[in-house]
């Protein structure tokens, strides 16, 4: 079976494992976007660490969970995020302005919405977590 959106599958797997109280989750297949998304989650303290396991095909990721994730999802289609309309997107997707992060793909790479606003750049919304 063909996977149309590996990022959405990975984030749904993490969310389901978090809800069921698991401490580790295996994500397959791995991709560069998933790794960058996980690095962003790790930097903000939502996951502990992850390990990339190469099996000479698509690879796997072993993620150690901390129990802090309430929801993480991919957004499809990837809507445009402009700096002047940023408050609209933040209010529509995140539950509060105090916590949660939109993840954007920009010309600077994959950033959260706070970094993108600091750099005054827009991009496409690929997902969120809180």
**What confidence tens digit (pLDDT) does each residue in 13-38 have?**
999 999 999 999 999 999 999 999 99
Quote the pLDDT of residue 97.
85
Structure tokens at 92: 């529509």
Q: What pLDDT, on a 0 to 100 scale, did the predictor assign at position 3?
A: 78
Torsion of CA 33, 16, 49, 26, to 10 degrees: -80
Low-confidence ranges of the chain (pLDDT < 70): 1
Spatial separation of the C-alpha atoms in residues 50 and 124, rounded to whole Å: 25
Quick one: tokens of 93? 């997707």
| Cα gap 130→125, rounded to integer Å | 15
Its pTM stands at 0.93
């Amino acid at each position: 079976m063909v996977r149309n959106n590996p990022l959405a599958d990975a984030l749904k797997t993490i969310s389901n494992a978090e809800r069921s109280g698991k401490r580790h989750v295996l994500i397959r297949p791995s991709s560069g976007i998933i790794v960058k998304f996980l690095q962003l989650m790790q930097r903000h303290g939502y996951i502990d660490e992850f390990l990339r396991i190469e099996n000479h095909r698509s690879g796997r990721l072993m993620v150690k969970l901390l129990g802090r994730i309430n929801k993480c999802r991919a957004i499809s289609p990837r809507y445009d995020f402009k700096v002047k309309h940023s408050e609209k997107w933040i209010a529509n997707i995140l539950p509060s302005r105090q916590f949660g992060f939109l993840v954007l793909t920009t010309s600077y790479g994959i950033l959260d919405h706070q970094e993108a606003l600091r750099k005054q750049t827009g991009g496409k919304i690929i997902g969120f977590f809180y």
